[in-house]
Chains A and B, each alone.
Chain A
Amino acid sequence: MGNFSVITVSREVESLGDEVALRLAKRLGYEFINREKWVAILRDHRDSLSPDPPEEEKEREEWVKAVGELLQGMAERRAFVLLGRGGQKLLAQCSFAFHLLVVAPVPVRLRRIMQRYKQDEVTASRILAEQDRQRERFLLRFFGVDWRNPLHYHLVVNTAFYDVEESCQLVLEAMKRTSAPSLGEQASFFETSGFMERPVAFSHPSEEEFARILDFYGIRWLYEPRTFPLEWDSEGNVVEAFAPDFYLPDFDLFVELTTQRQKLVWRKNRKVRKLRELYPEVKIKVIYARDYEHILRKFDLEENHE
């Protein structure tokens, strides 16, 4: 199909991304690689690679390099559709990989979960939030990817408007029309310009300054990449949420900068406490005004925040 012998499919939970990927593979006669197939491929590799990236940074870098080379080699010899597994990142530089993201609005996905698992709305909402969280965490932690960023993809399809067949048609049409894949070059550009993959509108100058300090020391970061639901109403709607300012994938750490004076901080402290209770596996560091002053003083910067 055109220049593309590989399609990577990233998808939100219950967005029908799995069905679209499978249909595409059948339609094009491409090999379909889901998690099970992927595990087998890595196991049979000469170095017997682990199915998931290692926790340790150095080993993970080696793993990503080895798997990227493996996929690149596969892409040169055979055509396939890769479902998930960070394919959009691993093959970001591959000029014959087409990257697809399949999404759907939360109410639509909620309805699908309720039908599929025969659950009420509250339970379905919890299932959806948990599965979204796991997927997001995997990609952030191991690949440093804000995977919902549309700039990682050639095409984003919303299945609230198109069924599986129509979505496949859209993909095939887009693949035909995309004659000069340049996403790899684009990704490369973003990676060399700090870790920012899009212009970031910081809500406070101290956040921008902090981001510059992180860039300076080569620490990868994402700005407000994840919102944690903290409270739901009786119908399962999120009524309170918290989005920490930064996520540092290298340390699997969220950072919240709180440069307000202490008496204004209690509300944020309450949210952080709640987050720790609901998501005990999440590491979060709160940097208060005085901590931030120490950091600025250490780096000989002005203390001009309010």
Chain B
Amino acid sequence: MNDPRLGKLVFTWEEIKQRVQEVAQEIDEDYTGRRPVLIAILRGAVYFAVDLTRCLTVPFDLDFMALSPFRPGLRRAEIEKDVDIDLKGRDILILEDIVDTGLTLNFLVRSLERRLPQSVRVCSFLNCPARRIADITVHYFCFEIPDIYVVGYGLDFQGDFRNLREIYTLHDPSGRSTQILKEMGKGR
């Protein structure tokens, strides 16, 4: 994609496919004999949820949740789209595109725990612990990234780039992202 707002390539489609497959295997092993409820968080996690669930062999139920985005004037986050499944006694696996500050996820986990599930775990496509504020565990993730802003594979910038199959940085005139990627052996 030729867009001046895009920076360097971080993860190729091949790398993504391979890691999604590996994470699916981990989930298969951990949930053997159970039927988890997979809750994909709209909108960013849709692409990851589709690819991940295609690789799973354990039976599962799939549902979606959406939180109200932060905006001035709205005092508290609200669940705009809730799951239709009764979660009491169920094993919940939350699917996220990225966990960075953990503020949204912390809110979600607390909301879901109030419904008395058997367990709540988190599976995120990307994990960015460098930006973490809320103390929250990400049980499964495909890639850990440093403190850089990335787009693609569900992650957007002002609504764009969600549909990219790969992960890119945003164009960073300071060169900081490029430097970090070099250290990772990335950034073609």
Contact = CB atoms under 8 A, between A and B. Distances in A.
A204 interface: no
A263 interface: no
A212 to B, nearest CB: 7
A216 B74 contact: yes
Interface of A: 58, 194, 212-219, 248, 250-251, 253, 255, 285, 287, 290-291, 294-295, 297-301
Contacts, number: 58
B133 A215 contact: no
Nearest to B67: A217
Interface of B: 69-72, 74-77, 100-101, 103-104, 106-107, 110, 113, 131-135, 147, 149, 157-158, 176
A215 B106 CA distance: 13
A117 to B, nearest CB: 37
A255 B133 contact: yes
Q: B interface, by DSSP: helix, strand, loop or mixed?
A: loop
B76 A215 contact: yes
Contact of A298 (B100, B113, B132, B134): B100
Going nearest first, the 4 A-B pairs with the smallest beta carbon separation are A299-B70, A251-B135, A217-B103, A217-B107
A290 B103 contact: no
A290 B176 contact: yes
Contacts of A255: 133
A300 B106 contact: no
A54 B176 CA distance: 43
Contact of A301 (B70, B75, B104): B70
Contacts of A253: 133, 135
A196 to B, nearest CB: 12
10 contacts: A194-B75, A213-B70, A214-B103, A218-B77, A218-B107, A219-B134, A251-B133, A297-B149, A300-B158, A301-B70
Contacts of A300: 69-71, 158
Nearest to A215: B75
Contact of A291 (B71, B72, B104, B131): B131
